[in-house]
């Protein structure tokens, strides 16, 4: 067997492993009742039925910050106290740093000699493009720190 065959066979095995990992994450970790389900599906952390934001698409910028005051299904107050979401800024910072590190590592592995300007442009560009998603995710993660899922929390 030639060397290119082994290379592509290795790449196919790697891609298969990545697909299996994503399938496990999707079907096991994103089940209703988990925090990840609430975070990635934009659902109320208490009942996981209704959406927290009016618009599910974070790139509709006019409605980016519009949240329901209370959950339409279970009545959970999404703003329990003034300034509750100030802590989400720390989560947003952590997500931005993780994104920057991931982009730096990916560019370092894929390309050998890149200038600092290329790294900086790629990281800043990705952070700016993903800012609406980061805003939503940080708020969803923050409220999920404090609110637990209750299976029977629906209001009739």
**Token pair 């065959």: residue:** 5
**CA-to-CA dists, residue 66 to 46, 57, 94, 116, angstroms:** 19, 11, 23, 37
Is the entire prediction scored with pTM above 0.85?
Answer: no
Q: Cα–chain-centroid distance for residue 153? A: 25
What SS3 state is found at 67?
Answer: strand
**CA-to-CA dists, residue 47 to 58, 60, 122, angstroms:** 22, 25, 39
Convert the pLDDT of each residue in 42-74 to its tens digit: 999 999 999 999 988 889 989 888 999 999 999
Q: What is the dihedral of CA 40, 46, 50, 53, to 10 degrees?
A: -60
Convert the pLDDT of each residue in 119-150 to its tens digit: 999 999 999 999 999 999 999 999 999 999 98
């Amino acid at each position: 067997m030639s060397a290119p065959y082994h290379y592509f066979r290795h790449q196919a095995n790697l891609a298969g492993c990545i697909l299996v990992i994503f399938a496990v994450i999707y079907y096991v970790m994103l089940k209703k009742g988990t925090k990840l389900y609430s975070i990635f599906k934009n659902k109320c952390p208490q009942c996981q039925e209704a959406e927290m934001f009016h618009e599910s698409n974070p790139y509709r910028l006019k409605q980016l910050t519009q949240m329901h005051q209370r959950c339409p299904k279970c009545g959970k107050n999404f703003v329990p106290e003034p300034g509750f979401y100030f802590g989400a800024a720390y989560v947003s910072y952590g997500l931005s740093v993780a994104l920057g590190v991931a982009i730096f590592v990916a560019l370092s592995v894929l390309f050998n000699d890149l200038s600092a300007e290329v790294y900086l442009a790629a990281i800043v560009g990705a952070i700016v493009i993903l800012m609406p998603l980061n805003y939503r995710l940080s708020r969803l993660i923050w409220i999920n720190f404090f609110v637990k899922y209750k299976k029977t929390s629906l209001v009739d």
